[in-house]
Amino acid sequence: MDLATLERLIVAQFTARAGDWGLSAASLTVRHVLNWGGFVNLSFRIEDGSRRFHLKITADPDAQDALASWYRVHADLTARYHAPPVIDWVSIGDTGHRGLLFPHLEGATPTGWTRWLRQAIAPVLQSLHADRDLRDRARPGQEAGSCAAGYLDDFHRRFIGDLAFVSADPPAFVTAATLAWMREEADRLANVVARSPAFARPAGALIHGDLWPNNVLVAPNDTWYLLDWDDLRLGDPILDLAKLLDSGMADGEPASTEEVATLVGTEPDGLDRLAIYARAILLDWVIDPLADYLDADRVPRQASRVRTQKRQAHLAAASAYRARYG
């Protein structure tokens, strides 16, 4: 379904239910908001001149399950872990699109991690990782796997899926040699993880799972929100910390050795896993933009802008990866 049609259907539904959310049906507008992190989920701004909302929906069944998991524990996440408040679960007619409705929050996403942000976010993550009650309610009955299994299901599965997609119709600036190099690096990391005793440890903490600067919103009064909790899952707490410490391809203040040691603390083999995650995160910056480049037609109004940005992101990350790891 094209975005223009979906926007019209959202307008119709929110007009019909305007009273449920305190909106004025006569002046209601809906506008698609570009999500730079990918196009499985779609975001829209809904407003009537006095009230504004943010709608995040998807037609993908797995992504809907992830949003439903967030919705199940959203009150706890908002009260204790700086998640944005959730107003409602919304289904858009018979389009198959479902998701979450939020109030619009004023603020800006940082261009990179600052020391202030890391010091604010780190204790919140550490509290989340230790929250057994929320873990049991967010993931009822789920058994903890190993850190290696978590890596393979997250990074490696995504690397292989994205590379298969890109290889079918590679952008003109991606050579066969570059594709082969990316596959070799993905396989190399998977093999290191599979052999590493550090990754044989259980990964049973509740983690955010998708921590990067674009998933933080800093309000004008220095209130901050941790966004996009749809990757909430059982996993390795070091993964969250690796993403928080990663300067990667974003601007920001690199963490000192002392800061890294303090955050990792006494987590067994934490520094060993941190080093592998750092490499995988940078490889993700190399590979993921190519999939988004090819997928840009899903946001046709922004396709040219997306492709320009994603090409630049891939080339910069590939250069940084080769300089750092050879």
**Domain of 98: which CATH number?**
3.30.200
**Nearest CA among 113, 85, 115, 112 for reference residue 100:** 85
pLDDT tens per residue, the chain (326 residues)?
Answer: 788 899 999 999 999 999 999 999 999 999 999 887 778 899 999 999 999 999 999 999 999 999 999 999 999 999 999 999 999 999 999 999 999 999 999 999 998 899 999 999 999 999 999 999 999 999 988 888 999 999 999 999 999 999 999 999 999 999 999 999 999 999 999 999 999 999 999 999 999 999 999 999 999 887 999 999 999 999 999 999 999 988 666 677 888 889 999 989 888 899 999 999 999 999 999 999 999 999 999 888 899 999 999 999 999 999 999 999 98
- Predicted local distance difference test score (pLDDT) of residue 199: 98
Which of 79, 103, 127 terminates a domain? The answer is: 103
Q: Does 96 share its domain with 235?
A: no
The reply to whether 159 falls in a domain is yes
**Domain of 320: which CATH number?**
3.90.1200.10
Q: Does 90 share its domain with 219?
A: no
Which of 103, 123, 144 terminates a domain? The answer is: 103
Q: Does 48 share its domain with 14?
A: yes
The reply to whether 110 falls in a domain is no
Q: Tell me the backbone φ, ψ of residue 36, rounded to 5 degrees.
A: -70, -15
- Predicted local distance difference test score (pLDDT) of residue 172: 96
Distances (CA, A) of 208 to 58, 133, 135, 215: 20, 16, 11, 11
Q: Does 134 share its domain with 259?
A: yes
Domain range for residue 52?
Answer: 3-103
Q: Does 274 share its domain with 133?
A: yes
Handedness of CA 61, 32, 161, 230 (dihedral sign): negative
Q: What is the CA radius of gyration of the chain?
A: 20
- Predicted local distance difference test score (pLDDT) of residue 250: 62
